[in-house]
Structure formats: structure tokens, C-alpha cells
Chain A
Amino acid sequence: MRAAWHRRFLVFAALAASVVASQAIGQAPSGRLVLYTSQPERDAAQTVGAFKKAYPGVEVEVFRSGTTEVMGKLAAEFAGGASKADVLLLADAATMELLKKDGRLLTYLNVDLAGLDPGSYDRDRTYFGSKLITTGIAVNTAAKSRPASFADLAKPECKGQVTMPSPLYSGAAAIMLGTMTRRSDLGWSYFEKLKAADTLAVRGNGAVLTAVANGEKAYGILVDFMAFNAKAKGSPIDFVFPAEGSPAVTEPVAILKTTQNPVAARAFVDFILSDDGQKLAVSMGYIPAKASAGTPAWLPAGTRIHIMATDIGKVADANSANLKRFAELFGN
């Protein structure tokens, strides 16, 4: 405790001195900010780098891993006392709903939500979507046929050639499962058909990309930005927006109630939702939450992606049961 206080005092003293020297106005965010995120490694580094440029007084500490590991770490921290994290940037809103129900998230009432679609943030202002990441079909350019919909993947010509990310390890895949099982044209019977067609459920979207680009599997269920970024670098992979619509996640950012640095935490949320933060997301290959920030290079301007409608509250409630059923179907 004392060491932490000493450290914070020193940082604050140094900052106070520099503030006086440069005659800065207002209460600049400072001190230490702890971020837990499930973004890919390079994107997390870029996001933090850009934030530090905008707010040089803040020292950011990052923990980056898959959604499962981040939730496991949070669970252990909650059980052991209080979490050390200040802000979370996770893949999907269902995970945020679980945390919100548990009373772990801080309400940020004065956040600037101009330009954001009302469906992308929480009504109660506890979490805010930062991007739009859709899940669709990745196809190896050497594959024999080109599926146009999810239903096509369960057809006999694709038997044994499909891979998908396991919802047990990927937040985006968990949302996809929750969304698609609630539809009458897909539902659980669709996944049973996939299982009967020898579909491979692997650990995470990265593994799907590697398998499809390498030619191990011809088709994969994959998130859009990964496929397009690889294609831009030369990978023999194509992406199809499925006819039924695209399940989407918003990669929300949230502040934990037990944050030690609420000023810097709010500054982080502001940065993510600001024009600069949204343009950064575009440059990394994501569709931004703010339409005015533009679109990534792989999405021609004016293209309309048909997002699958979803009730995030119901998906969050059913998540645990869905994962268990999926595990029994595919993993036991």
C-alpha cells in the first residue's frame, strides 16, 4: 500500500511541476491506468500508443489475452478482493452485460455519444461499443465452390471442409452462437448439421484464419477484419457476407466501479469514442462505431452490411447454457 502511495505521490508531484511550468489548464488525466483487453496484440499496442500520445501524463498498463482468460483473471480478482483493472475493452456486449448485472461497471453519465448508433451502447451508460466487427464466411481462393450463406456451409459439398471458432474461447463466436440459435431459420439444428458435416471447432479466430489461408480447410466462419487484413497482405483468402445477415459484436469499452483512476478512465473512454480514436480503428481495418470516421479500405463506401438483429440482454442470459450445450455437442 505504502509503495503504491509513494509512487503515485511522486508521479503526481512531477506532473504538478510540469503543469505549473507549462501553464496547462484544467484537470489533466494523470497517474496509472490499467487496461484489460481482448483485442489482438498489435491493435492493443497501437490503441494504447495513440492514447498515450493524446494524454502523455497517463502511464498505461495493459493485460491482453483472449476473452476467456480476461474473464478468468477478473473472476479470480473479484474472488480475491477487488480487481486491479480500471478500464475494460472486450470483444462483446454479452460479457459486459454479465459484468453489469454483477454490479461491476461504473456509470459514465456525461459521455459524449454524438454520432454513435443508439444500439451500440448501453442505455444505462455502463459500456460503449467502439467498432463494428461482423462474422462471415472466409473462403480459400482455391476452394471448389463459394458458399453464399451460412446454410450453404452445412451442405454436403462442404462436408469436412469447414472450420469455425469455438464460442468457448472467442467472445465474437459466443455472440454468433447466441444470435444464430435464436433464429428460426438457423437455430440449434443448424449447429447440429454442422457437427454432422464434420465441422472443426478450433480455438479462436486466429486459428480459423491460419487454417483457411493455409489451405487446411476450404471454408471458415471468421471475423471480417482478420480476413480482409490478411487478404490485403496477399493471403489467398476471400470473405463473403452471408445472405442471412452478419452477426456482429461492438467491442465495448467500460469502466470498472473499483477503478483507482476515474479521471484517466473517463479520458480513455472519451478517446476511444472520439474522432481520433474512431479514425485509428478505421486505419487498423475495423468498421468504426461512428459513421463519420469513414470506412476501412476493404469496404467500398456506400456498401450496406445487413447486421443480424439481436437482443443482447437475452443472449447474455442464455450464454452460459448455450456454451454448455455447444460443449456437449462439439466437445464431449
Chain B
Amino acid sequence: MPDATDWRERFESYGLLWGLLLVVGILSVAPLARLLAEGIAPQGHFSAGALERVFSSAATWTATRHSLLTALGGTFVALAVGGVIAVMVALTDIRARNAFVFCFVLPMMIAPQVIALAWLQLFGPSSPLLKALGVAQTIGGRNPLYSPQGIILVLGVQYAPLVFLTLRAGLRALPGAMVEAGLASGAGPITVLRTIVLPLMTPPLVAGVALTFVSCLGNFGIPALLGIPANYLVLPTLIYQRMAGLGPGALAEVSVLSMLIGFIAIVGILLQDLMLSRRDFRVSTTSAAARPFELERWRLPVEVALWMWTTLVLVLPLLALALGSLVPAVGVALSAKTATLANYEFVLFGHDAVRRALFNSFSMSATAAIAIVAIAVPLAYFVVWRRTRLLKFVNFAIEVPYALPGVVLAIAAILLFLKPLPVVGVSLYNTVWIILFCYLGRFLVLGLQPVIGGYHQIDRTLEEASQIAGARLARRLVTIIVPLIAPAAAAGALLVFLTAFNELTVSALLWSSGSETLGVVFFSFQQGGDSTYASALGTLTVAVAAGSMLSTLLMADRLPAGVLPWRD
């Protein structure tokens, strides 16, 4: 006969599960379903016309090929860079580790177009660096970044911090004792890496790789900047072109193309699932952070290489931004005479939208990060430890809103929320709430995947022991699971915050006066030719972001170990 504890336990457990599924359904499935309906039944009448037009067009398959190529290439570069750097930071004895991690993660705060633009100038004819080296091209030469290789390079650099954050959180759980045992038995560092570290780190690695693949697949900004001039189309830019060319009639075709992207993303998830189901990766000890690899004479060259990378990815774009914000107009050479603060004056005091955008972006990103982690931790509990088919479906459903181009998600949200909500009568349309809704649906996967990776590393015996002792689900989650999963959850929250802060493509269609976001204002300035204002805004954004990231160090003592990537 089931006793009262059992009944309460089951109620709590199922209640939580179905509550989460409802939330995920509203956030992720509803917009997709509405979009799908528009694709196969535009204006309410079933029609396969859009399907036919899309699948018979050669452009579709060319763009699909290009998408796969750039996504795989970008993932490979991100994995190589982010993975190596994570291992260097976590497992070797390099100095100034925390400062380096801070500088490595900060580029995520700079809009990707800015980094791409800075590199374009770096390789372009007016590049001060190339002129200094004496290899500058004459005006009008073809920039080598306008190519699929350029896209892959910039995508890889853009998402290396993503792999880094996921892997670093996972490396916190690496039992130093095992590594030291391997070294003591006479294995060289490479052997230890290959046979002990990498197998144990498979879950966070796979999570990072899957996230990076989907990010590269759905990225619009970089292929738009570097691919359009090179006649190199990928699926997101093809969708945008269709929208531009066909106006109202394009929605159905846009919907079908989006389903194609979603399908590719789901295949990626299936592969990830396959990789994780073959082995058991649980680690039951929580030993202190180990620095088992001593680099000796390699230490200085490695440190130099790491800081050179930082210079390339952070310092140079930031310098380009800052210098560009001090000139009165584009193309004017910076000198003591021409330097001016007028751009900052305008951005801070002359244009209300900027202050609203700073406030909106900051609060929406922070809210989204916290809310998503609050959903992800219990959801991942069920996904990893109560494996049912419904939950597998959930995993796919969450991935798709992130893989789709932002403009498509925005259109789906418009279709859903144009009319006021049925019972409450409140309209979310043209407010910050519809943007927040999209952020929650879109970035849920960024919070969930690292946490799933973290769960794969936890041994369930601790939780089971407390269950036997009588603790119910909520209490177990809060007192046992959360401290264990804290580094992974924090990595997820940070990813969500950094990605949402500069977000552009979703809010580009959904914003209105009062609900501006930083990405939108920045892009509007650039589109209008006011790139000096854009540079001033960009520099301010990075300063604010760096400031808030540094301020977390003040709270560092009160947070569980391993939560902040830039603090040991």
C-alpha cells in the first residue's frame, strides 16, 4: 500500500515535470507550430505550393551545402581553439590564469559584426597593421575574409568561448587524483589527456560541440557580412533574401526553409544522444582543482601564444572600436587635432534610445539567464535521469528555436502574439515582454545543454541516499543537486546572458519605442552610415559588460566553487 510519503513524492515529481513541459511547450513548441502551420496552410488553406517551390529550387540545396560546410568548419575551429585553451587554463600551471579567462570570454560581449568588421579592416587596404608591416594592399584590393574560409574562421573564433565555458565547467569535476595516478605510473601528459581526461570530459565536450554546431548553423550576421559580398549563401541568408524579395507571399517559403534548418539541427542532436548513450561518464569524487601538468620550459611560449590570441580577438577589435569612436566622421585619420568626444556626448545624452536600450538589454539578459537556469536544472534532472520518449522530444523541440534564424522566430512570435492574449486580454505585442518571451524560447538550449553535460558527470548515489533518508524532490534538488551542478549551471547562465545582451536578429523585428535593445540601436546606427555613433555605443557596451563581469568578483566568496570561470 503506497504510503503518504510516496504519494507526495510522486505528486511533486510529476507536478514539476508537467509544469516544466508546459513551460517548454509554450516557449518553444507554440511558435514553431504556428510557423509550421503558416508553411503548409498559409492563411488557413492547405497548400503544398511553398514546399514544391522551395525543394525544387537549386538555391535551396546550394545554401544547404554551404550551411553544412560552414557549420562543420566553424565547429571544428571553435573546438580546436576553445578545447585547447580550456585544457591549458584548467590543467596547467600557466600564470595570470584568471585575467586571461576574463579576456578570453569578454569578446562575447562585442557584437560579432564588430569583430568581423575589425578583422576586415585589419586585412583591408587602410589597415595600420599591414601598413606597418609593409604588406598593405593598394586601395580596392579584394579582402580575403570575403570567402567561405573567412566565414569559417570568424565563426570558429566567435564560438570558441562557448566550447571553452562548457568544457571548463566540466573540467572542474575532473578528479585530480586519477590524473596524478596516471602521471605517477609513468604516462606522459599526452597519454593522460587521451586516455583519462578526454573520455571523462566527453559529456561537456559533446554538449559544447552540439551547441556550437547549432549556433554556426543558425548564425545570420557573419554570413551576411562576409558571405553576401562573396556570393556565398547559407540557409539563414537565403531565408532573408526570400523575405526581401517576395514580401507577403514569402512567409510560407520562409517557413519551409526554416523547417529544413530545424531538421539539420535535430540530426545533430540525435548524434549527440548517440555519443552519450554508449558509455557511463559519472565521477563520484569531488577532489580539489588539480594542476597536474607542469609546462616547465614550455610555459612562457604557451603564455605568449595565449596572450597573442587575446590581442587578436579582443584587443584589436576593441581598439578599432575605440579609435573609430573618437573621430568626428568615418575615414578621418585620428590625431590630436581630430579626436573628439562628440560621439559619446550624442550617444549618452542626445539620444534617449541608447539609455533605454542599455537598461532593456541588461535587464532582459539577466532575467532570461536566471529564468532559463531555473528551468534548466530541474528539466535536465528529468531528461538525464528519467529518460522517456517525451523528454527526448523535448530535447529536439528546445534546439530548434535556437537553430532558426532570429528573424523567423520573430515572425512566429508576431503571428502568435499579434492579438491580445485570450483570457487576460493583455497584449504583449510591441513591448519588452514579447522580446523576453523569444529570448526564453531561443536561449533555453544554451542553458540546458551545459547542465545536461554536468548531470552526466554526477553520480546519482548521493541523491538516492538523501531520498532514502526521506528528502522529497524539491529539497533534494536544492540541497544536493544544485551545489553539484552549480558550475555547469553558471556556465549556462553566463552563455545566455552574453548571447542575449548583444542579440540583434530577434529584437530587430519585435522592438518598438521603449523596448529598444542594444543590438538594434547599434545596427541602426551602422545602417544609417553613422558608424562613429555605433563605435561609441559598442565601446560603452563593452565597458558596461566588463564592469558587471568584474563586479561578480565582489560576490565570488558567497558563490559555490567553480561558478565563476574567471576565478579559481
Contacts and interface: CB of A to CB of B under 8 A. Distances in A.
A216 B142 CA distance: 9
Contact of B407 (A69, A201, A204, A217): A69
B143 interface: yes
Given A80-B414, A327-B241, A42 B331 contact: no
Nearest to A159: B140
A331 to B, nearest CB: 6
B425 A77 contact: no
A133 to B, nearest CB: 13
Interface stretch (A10-18, A234-242, A268-276): A234-242
Contact of B124 (A214, A233, A332): A214
A140 B514 contact: no
B353 A45 contact: yes
A213 B62 contact: no
Given A237-B331, A332-B59, A206 B526 contact: yes
A324 B419 CA distance: 33
A124 interface: no
B529 A205 contact: yes
Interface string B104-121: 000000000000000011
A226 B139 CA distance: 22
Contact of B140 (A80, A98, A218, A324): A218
A323 B229 contact: no
A207 to B, nearest CB: 8
Given A3-B427, A218-B139, A218-B140, A234 B124 contact: no
B250 interface: yes
Interface string B288-326: 000000000000000000000000000000000000000
B331 A214 contact: yes
Interface stretch (A59-67, A185-193, A286-294, A295-303): A59-67
Contacts of B139: 140, 142-143, 161, 215-218
Size category of the A interface is 35 or more
Interface in B341-371: 351-353
Nearest to A80: B418
Contact of B425 (A2, A69, A166, A169): A2
B229 A201 contact: yes
A206 B529 contact: yes
B330 A323 contact: no
Contacts of A331: 228, 231, 233, 241
A108 interface: no
A206 to B, nearest CB: 4
Q: Which of A65, A76, A198 has the largest count of B CB atoms less than 10 A from its CB?
A: A76
Contacts of A82: 418
Interface stretch (B163-171, B264-272, B504-512): B504-512
Interface string A161-179: 1000010110000000000
A202 interface: yes
B140 A79 contact: no
A166 B240 CA distance: 13
15 contacts: A40-B529, A41-B528, A45-B351, A79-B38, A79-B415, A81-B418, A142-B139, A213-B330, A216-B121, A226-B529, A229-B529, A230-B331, A233-B328, A327-B241, A332-B58
Top 4 closest pairs, chain A to chain B, by CB? A40-B528, A161-B140, A213-B331, A233-B329
Given A60-B513, A210-B529, A216-B124, 17 more contacts: A1-B425, A3-B425, A41-B528, A45-B352, A63-B511, A72-B243, A74-B248, A79-B251, A79-B415, A81-B418, A84-B418, A102-B248, A161-B139, A168-B241, A168-B245, A214-B126, A233-B329
